[in-house]
Amino acid sequence: MGRITDALKRAMLYKNQDLAKSIDANAQILSNKSFEKRADEDYKSVNFDKMRVDAFAYYGVGGVLLDEFQHIRAALMKKNYSSVLITSSLPEDGKTTVAVNMGFAVAKAFSSEGKRVLLIDSDFHKRPFYDIFGVDMYSYPGMLDAIGNRSDIRDLIVRDKETGLFVLFAGTKNMDAMSVAGIKNLLSVLKSEFDFVIMDSMPVLNFVEPRELAPFFDAVLYVVKLLKTPRGSISYGVQCLRDMGQNNMLFVINGVKAFLPTKKTNYYKK
């Protein structure tokens, strides 16, 4: 047991050292007096031509569904929020679809003003952005790779050619690399670089990280799946966030079919 204990202690020591390196490196970016926002052309521009079209109001659907996301965007803009965490009580409530559509909606609204929007995947358990955007995980490192790394987090962000939306993927490392302190440090850099930050997180009842990160955002967009999410899980999830000090919450009710058109396209059948 002594050897096992010593090995665990060494592993924790190395992990803490890596985290300290990350904090030092990215803190230096902010403390540097010559720090300036990067120009758009300094970011890698990509074309997500294999994106799952059926997932988004902005690609091939539009209509009433697009209008709904515009309403959500308007509610956020009215309150002058500049950072939003998106979560739900349980998996499969639709938070990632909401997060990505919100990213496109806000990016489109801000494009004429020269403002930039960053969409982050911090669902480190499922890492859904790789599937949704149709890209290979190891070609697009992200947040987990930046934790414990001396490199600038901005080097891992890509820009969608068509919409101008900036995207940061979850990363290739396993969840052992995750650190709430490290994520908060990286977010400090990203908030200074971008005008609006949207983070898709893990379900609040399954993981503690969304609760710990919630107070670091201006508000939480809480997604509820109609006829699926139990009432008690909603109440408990909201209370967990409030206990951590986050009281600014907006709710999105997902799956309200009564508002959808009657046209029987493959999208609505699905």
Domain of 54, CATH number, reads 3.40.50.300
18-27, 126-135, 239-248: lowest mean pLDDT where? 18-27
Average pLDDT, the chain: 82
Inform me whether the pLDDT recorded for 12 exceeds 50. no
Here the tokens at position 126 are 């499922």
Q: Is 206 exposed, middle or buried (0-12, 13-18, 19+ CB in 10 A)?
A: middle
Buried b or exposed e, range 96-119, using 16+ CB within 10 angstroms: bbbbbbbbbbbbbbbeeeeebbbb
Tell me the pLDDT tens digit for each residue of 138-157: 999 999 999 877 778 999 99
Nearest 5°: the CA angle 50, 186, 170 is 30
Confidence at 89, pLDDT banded by 50, 70, 90: very high
Q: Which pLDDT belongs to residue 254?
A: 84
Laid out side by side, the sheet with 196-200 consists of 44-46, 158-160, 166-168, 117-121, 196-200, 83-88, 219-225, 249-254
Nearest 5°: the CA angle 154, 161, 99 is 70
Q: What's the CA gap between 203 and 210, in Å, rounded?
A: 7
Inform me whether the pLDDT recorded for 23 exceeds 90. no
Here the tokens at position 48 are 């997500």
Domain that holds residue 185: 2-269
What is the pTM assigned to this prediction? 0.82
Q: Which pLDDT belongs to residue 219?
A: 96
Over residues 20-35, the mean pLDDT reads: 52
Q: What's the CA gap between 151 and 109, in Å, rounded?
A: 31
Q: Which pLDDT belongs to residue 8?
A: 44
**Number of separate domains in the chain:** 1
Q: How many CA atoms lie within 13 A of 181 on its CB side?
A: 12
